[in-house]
Amino acid sequence: MKPLKIRQGLLSILLAVALMVAGCNGSPTESATSDNVNPVGDSTVSPVAQTQNSSMSNLPQLEGKATVVMTVNGSPITIEVDGTAAPVTAGNFVDLVNQGVYDGVAFHRVVREPQPFVVQGGDPQSKDPNVPMARLGTGGFIDPGTSKERYIPLEIQPAGEEKPLYSKTFEEARIKAQPKLKHSRGAVAMARSRLPDSASSQFYFALADLPFLDGSYAVFGYVTDGMDVIDNIQQGDRIESAKVVEGLDNLKK
């Protein structure tokens, strides 16, 4: 049994590395030579670090929960967005949905082999059909108010704690607890580069339980209906529409 356990452990490590270093079309075999990180991100991005006491106050926050319905391939996906444990991350997502940022955006990264992993989208560049697929995964939301890309801090709440940890992974903060929002199948989380505070608009759906990502990436909600739709998403499929159907009054700007 030991060799099996070792192989399973190595597979989890390879998937985690793929998540951290693969580009938009990255695969575990490409990850060893790629400089890009997480589900995806541009390694050249250097956002200003955000903390709980500084520019985070300028970001939208969700006080409570909200429900988002995405339509993909003509079928709905219902997401419960949890601002109780991830107010900034959830607020950013609900705000982008409400602005129509995700309407027409493609899923540029789908990883199901060697085992179910993630379906990732949210790069606004993908709205332009002339942008090559190889470039997708490097873009984020440009705030029209500042004409700059909006970044949000890494935000993960340890189980049993009243507030989230910001701008550090659990490993960096030496936290042994589990996160309140885990990477179970159907989790929705933010993609980022190697920099903790570099998430913008890209997100991913977990296709399976991914405990090796817990404490490193920010989960902000869960799919409550429509996982069968996600299971059938292919690279290049688009979000036809995304709407906040409940809880928009919990969004504070």
Residues 112-165: pLDDT tens digits? 999 999 999 999 999 998 998 889 999 999 999 899 999 999 999 999 999 999
pLDDT for the residue 9: 56
| Average pLDDT score over the chain | 85
Residues 239/125/210/45 CA torsion (nearest 10 deg):
-160
> Is the residue at 11 inside a domain?
no
Q: Could you tell me the residue range of the domain that residue 142 belongs to?
A: 47-248
> Is the residue at 16 inside a domain?
no
Residue 164 sits in a domain whose CATH number is: 2.40.100.10
pLDDT digits (tens, 9 = 90+) for 15-48: 554 454 233 333 322 332 233 335 544 333 333 3
Map tokens 């789908």 to a residue: 110
> Is the residue at 30 inside a domain?
no
Plot region of 160 (φ>0 → left; ψ -120 to 50 → alpha; else → beta): left
Tokens of 16: 């985690």
